[in-house]
């Protein structure tokens, strides 16, 4: 009881992967809007939007349509995961043990840790480049270090500070975003050919749409980490819509800014383009976006440590890691990401595109299995104590049906993959259009449901 009381009043979050009791629940539905709105308005989101022009060669209206449709579609899955947090009160990757088993879940958890490290390193690079652009005496590596220190500090304090940070950034970053659009439209002006129409290719349009959808899907492995402290009686529809609109609007607007910059600047260096196009306001805008990157990176690092702690607790079930373990792991993961960022900054755009496409292929089968199990089979009812047993309790060490469906989901995507590294036979026949993620969802959802209904439903009701 003393520990629960201490966790409520302490400025540092004491818990890590442990279940959140009813006495520790706190927060408002609006917090879910601000954490996803404020954390998305940053340079990496702008860069992602610019890919519709720089990589997929779309005109303004085609690019904007791809960005909007992709985000609105992908946010459905993201928000469905968010609604799980307040019901179960545990991190998303702990809950994955309910589908894959205690050891089977490691297959997904380890991949998600890699995802966090990749996004953390990508954000470090952009934050460093942004600070260098407005303060040339500061090296890019120096800027990377500053963004990293801000991120580690927020991670050390944990859940409350991250939510407070993103509430502030929702106002600051939102204002900076409006200033960007206003300055480019009213002061700098759009080039004459800005609205020139060129017929989009199916491959280009669908490629941009897929990147936008993946941006949302990439939040699925940790979105419920930020709703697990919400009161248990939180209305699930309100949790869904607050997360949905916060993340979709917070992504669509900066991505469209990226489209605008790419069309006006005609160069892959979007950071320099933003600085040039916003003139006298650039220092303020880039400074805010760089601080915003630190907020997002704190979220990546925080959830990365929870996943790493999940791996450790799987192997040592008697271990109940607290805040000290989270801080030590955060420092270690920051050091590794720092090395990745310094090494990869010279070829950032190419590395980033390959990274997010790889994520698409491995995240789709997991999100399909998780959502089908939660909403259609278990109906949100799980035996949480079993999550923390080494033998998996009623869920066992391995759920071979889930693992088989996960691997099937990856395999069925291969013929539909279209990348610079590999293009599948069907994707090539379709002119390079990558619809692999849709195929993965369409195959895994019904197969897992048919294989698991009845068997899994009874497992969710312990004697």
* Cα–Cα distance, 72 to 245 (Å, whole number): 9
Taking the CA atoms of residue 50, residue 196, residue 279 and residue 289 in that order, the dihedral angle to the nearest 10 degrees is -20
DSSP per-residue codes, 263-331: HHH-SS-HHHHHHHHTGGGHHHHHHHHHHHHHHHHHHHHHHHHHHHHHHHHHHSTT----HHHHHHHHH
> What is the residue whose two structure tokens read 């659009």?
181
pTM of the predicted protein model: 0.89
Q: Please check whether residue 79 is in contact with residue 250, taking contact to mean a CB–CB distance below 8 angstroms.
A: no
* Cα–Cα distance, 171 to 183 (Å, whole number): 18
The reported pLDDT for the residue numbered 348 is 61
* Cα–Cα distance, 365 to 445 (Å, whole number): 8
Q: What's 383's DSSP letter?
A: -
* Cα–Cα distance, 129 to 106 (Å, whole number): 35
The reported pLDDT for the residue numbered 457 is 56
* Cα–Cα distance, 172 to 162 (Å, whole number): 15
The reported pLDDT for the residue numbered 345 is 67
* Cα–Cα distance, 295 to 305 (Å, whole number): 15
Q: Please check whether residue 36 is in contact with residue 246, taking contact to mean a CB–CB distance below 8 angstroms.
A: yes
Of 246, 222, 219, 298, give the one whose Cα is nearest residue 28: 246
The reported pLDDT for the residue numbered 172 is 95
Of 15, 6, 3, give the one whose Cα is nearest residue 94: 15
What is the pLDDT tens value at each position of the chain, 463 positions in all?
444 444 444 578 888 899 998 888 888 899 999 999 999 999 889 999 999 998 899 999 999 999 999 999 999 999 999 989 888 999 999 999 999 999 999 988 988 888 888 888 888 888 888 888 888 898 888 888 898 898 999 999 988 899 999 999 999 999 999 999 999 999 999 998 888 877 888 889 988 998 899 899 888 888 889 999 999 888 889 999 999 999 999 999 999 999 999 999 877 788 889 999 998 899 899 889 888 888 888 998 998 899 999 999 998 888 889 989 999 999 999 988 888 777 766 666 566 666 666 777 888 999 999 999 999 999 988 999 999 988 989 999 999 999 999 999 999 999 998 877 788 899 888 888 888 889 999 999 999 999 988 666 555 555 4
- The SS3 of residue 404 is helix
Q: Please check whether residue 290 is in contact with residue 143, taking contact to mean a CB–CB distance below 8 angstroms.
A: yes
* Cα–Cα distance, 391 to 370 (Å, whole number): 20
The reported pLDDT for the residue numbered 7 is 45
DSSP per-residue codes, 231-280: -TT--HHHHHHHHHHHHHHHHHHHHHHHHHHHHHH-SS-HHHHHHHHTGG
Is residue 17 classed exposed, middle or buried when 0-12, 13-18 and 19+ CB atoms within 10 A define those classes? Answer: buried
The reported pLDDT for the residue numbered 344 is 67
Within 316-414, residue ranges assigned H as helices are 323-344, 348-371, 384-387, 400-413
The reported pLDDT for the residue numbered 9 is 46
Please, which residues have CB within 8 angstroms of residue 317's CB and are 6 or more apart in sequence?
A: 388, 389, 390
The reported pLDDT for the residue numbered 461 is 54
């Amino acid at each position: 009881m003393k520990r629960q009381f201490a966790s409520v009043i302490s400025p540092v979050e004491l818990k890590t992967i442990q279940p959140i009791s009813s006495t520790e629940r706190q927060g408002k539905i609006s917090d879910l809007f601000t954490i996803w709105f404020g954390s998305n308005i940053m340079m990496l989101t702008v860069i992602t939007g610019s890919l519709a022009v720089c990589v997929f060669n779309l005109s303004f209206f085609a690019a904007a349509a791809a960005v909007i449709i992709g985000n609105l579609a992908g946010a459905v899955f993201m928000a469905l995961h968010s609604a799980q947090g307040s019901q179960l009160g545990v991190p998303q990757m702990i809950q994955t043990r309910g589908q894959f088993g205690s050891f089977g879940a490691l297959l997904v958890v380890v991949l998600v840790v890699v995802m966090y490290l990749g996004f953390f390193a990508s954000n470090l690079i952009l934050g460093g480049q942004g600070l260098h652009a407005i303060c040339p005496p500061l090296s890019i590596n120096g800027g990377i270090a500053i963004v990293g220190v801000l991120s580690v500090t927020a991670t050390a304090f944990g859940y409350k500070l991250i939510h407070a940070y993103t509430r502030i950034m929702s106002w600051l970053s939102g204002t900076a975003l409006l200033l960007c659009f206003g300055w480019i439209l009213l002061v700098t002006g759009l080039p004459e050919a800005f609205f020139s129409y060129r017929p989009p290719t199916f491959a280009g349009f669908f490629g941009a749409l897929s990147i936008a959808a993946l941006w949302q899907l990439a939040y699925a492995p940790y979105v419920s980490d930020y709703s697990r402290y919400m009161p248990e009686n939180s209305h699930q529809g309100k949790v869904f819509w607050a997360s949905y609109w916060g993340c979709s609007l917070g992504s669509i607007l900066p991505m469209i800014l990226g489209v605008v910059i790419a069309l006006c600047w005609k160069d892959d260096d979007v950071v320099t383009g933003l600085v040039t196009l916003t003139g006298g306001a650039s220092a303020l805008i880039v400074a805010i976006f760089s601080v915003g990157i630190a907020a997002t990176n704190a979220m990546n690092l925080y959830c990365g440590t929870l996943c790493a702690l999940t791996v450790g607790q799987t192997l040592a079930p008697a271990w109940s890691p607290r805040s000290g373990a989270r801080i030590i792991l955060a420092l270690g993961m920051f050091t590794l990401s720092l090395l990745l960022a310094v090494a990869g900054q010279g070829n950032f755009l190419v590395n980033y595109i390959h990274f997010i496409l790889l994520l698409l292929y491995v995240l789709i089968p997991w999100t399909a299995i998780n959502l089908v199990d939660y909403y259609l089979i278990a109906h949100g009812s799980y035996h949480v104590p079993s999550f923390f047993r080494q033998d998996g309790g009623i869920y066992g060490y391995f759920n071979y049906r889930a693992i088989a469906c996960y691997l099937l989901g990856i395999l069925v995507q291969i013929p539909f993959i279209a990348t610079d590294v590999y293009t599948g036979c069907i994707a090539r026949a379709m002119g390079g259009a990558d619809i692999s993620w849709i195929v993965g969802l369409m195959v895994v959802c019904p197969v897992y449901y048919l294989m698991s209904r009845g068997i899994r439903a009874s497992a969710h009701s312990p004697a």
